[in-house]
Structure 1
Amino acid sequence: MAINVWTFTGNIGRDAEQRFTPAGDSIVSFPVATQAGFGEKAITTWARCSIFGKRGDSVLPYLNKGQQVAVSGELAAREWENKDGIKQTSIEVRVNDLQLIGKRDDGQQQAPQQRQQAPAKPSGGADEMSDIPF
């Protein structure tokens, strides 16, 4: 028995597309770019991801270009010829698990959310209590 699971994170390259099999089953497909390495040696790998059935239907509205996702699924390499007759290979993933983990930054830095702390309890008399606004 062989186990074939690839788990990765990346950003969706374009809005997801939905199509249907002749039997009427839904297939939602979207490309995800994931990076390996650092700096000038970083490489980007594109994976064509597909979710079948009602699971795909439910996440389709959220699978937009730039959305950061974590994907786990069955990996396959498919060979094909381009219009010039040159053999190409595409990485395809049949998604078993998908998590939406954030949105691409688009250059705008968002301020981190600050935790609200409970007000300190007064240590003594009524004078200290008069500063409390409620």
Structure 2
Amino acid sequence: MINRVVLVGRLTKDPELRYTPSGVAVANFTLAVNRPFTNQQGEREADFIQIVVWRRQAENTANFVGKGSLVGIDGRLQTRSFDNNEGRRVFMTEVVGDSVQFLEPKGSKGQSAGMNNNFGSPNPNNQTNYQQNQTSNNRPSDSDPFADDGKPIDITDDDLPF
């Protein structure tokens, strides 16, 4: 049997962190995930999916992400039921997150600080930081081994990990 769910979306509110009577951390939040198509009005709709994470993942999620944060979830689908205050049986379907990946820097809330959408390239409006990272011999600092003076990089097939 296979029960795997992989989602990428934004939190609709800050995660709610609680602890069980035995001291196990659990965090709940809702993830808004865009659908891959538009409706008849040309608007993109979203699904709002309940997520629950446990233990250290729950504490990390509550401490490092908040409303609007972009996260990736790898987990499994779970259905449970309980009786509500009115005595009615309520069924819930949720994703139990085994892994939560934080896909944006902390505090960016949808805007990558100092970066554009070119996979980490420096923002042209932020050249001051790039110039400050230059060392005295006019080569980039060790933080970016691929930032060079525009010369091609010599890589053979043996150097590639795949």
TM-score, structure 1 as length reference: 0.67
Q: Which runs of 5+ in 2 are unaligned?
A: 117-121, 124-129, 131-146, 152-162
Q: Secondary structure of 2:63's match?
A: helix
Say whether the 8 Å CA contact 1:47–1:90 is kept in structure 2: no
Question: Whose strand proportion is higher, 1 or 2?
Answer: 1
Report the Cα distance in structure 2 between the residues aligned to 1:37 and 1:54, rounded to whole angstroms. Answer: 32
Report the Cα distance in structure 1 between the residues aligned to 2:89 and 2:45, rounded to whole angstroms. Answer: 21
CA 1:111/1:96 → structure 2, altered by over 3 Å: closer, same or farther? closer
> Are 2:70 and 1:74 equivalent residues in the alignment?
no
Partner residue, 1:38: 37
Alignment equivalent of 1:105, drawn from 110, 120, 129: 110
**Root-mean-square deviation (CA), in Å?**
3.6
Code of the residue aligned with 1:3 in structure 2: it is I
Say whether the 8 Å CA contact 2:82–2:91 is kept in structure 1: yes
CA 1:56/1:82 → structure 2, altered by over 3 Å: closer, same or farther? closer
What is the count of residue pairs matched by the alignment?
118
Report the Cα distance in structure 2 between the residues aligned to 1:21 and 1:89, rounded to whole angstroms. Answer: 21
CA 1:33/1:77 → structure 2, altered by over 3 Å: closer, same or farther? farther
Over 6 Å off, 4+ runs: 79-83, 86-89
> Are 2:18 and 1:19 equivalent residues in the alignment?
yes
TM-score, structure 2 as length reference: 0.57
Code of the residue aligned with 1:53 in structure 2: it is R
- CA shift for structure 1 position 3: 1.4
- CA shift for structure 1 position 61: 1.3
Say whether the 8 Å CA contact 1:69–1:100 is kept in structure 2: yes
- CA shift for structure 1 position 117: 4.2
Answer 1 or 2: higher relative contact order, Cα 8 Å, separation at least 6.
Answer: 1
Code of the residue aligned with 2:54 in structure 1: it is F
Bigger Rg over Cα: 1
Greater shift in the superposed pair: 35-44 or 64-73: 35-44
> Are 2:149 and 1:118 equivalent residues in the alignment?
yes
> Are 2:58 and 1:56 equivalent residues in the alignment?
yes
Code of the residue aligned with 1:34 in structure 2: it is V
CA 1:22/1:5 → structure 2, altered by over 3 Å: closer, same or farther? same
Report the Cα distance in structure 2 between the residues aligned to 1:95 and 1:60, rounded to whole angstroms. Answer: 13
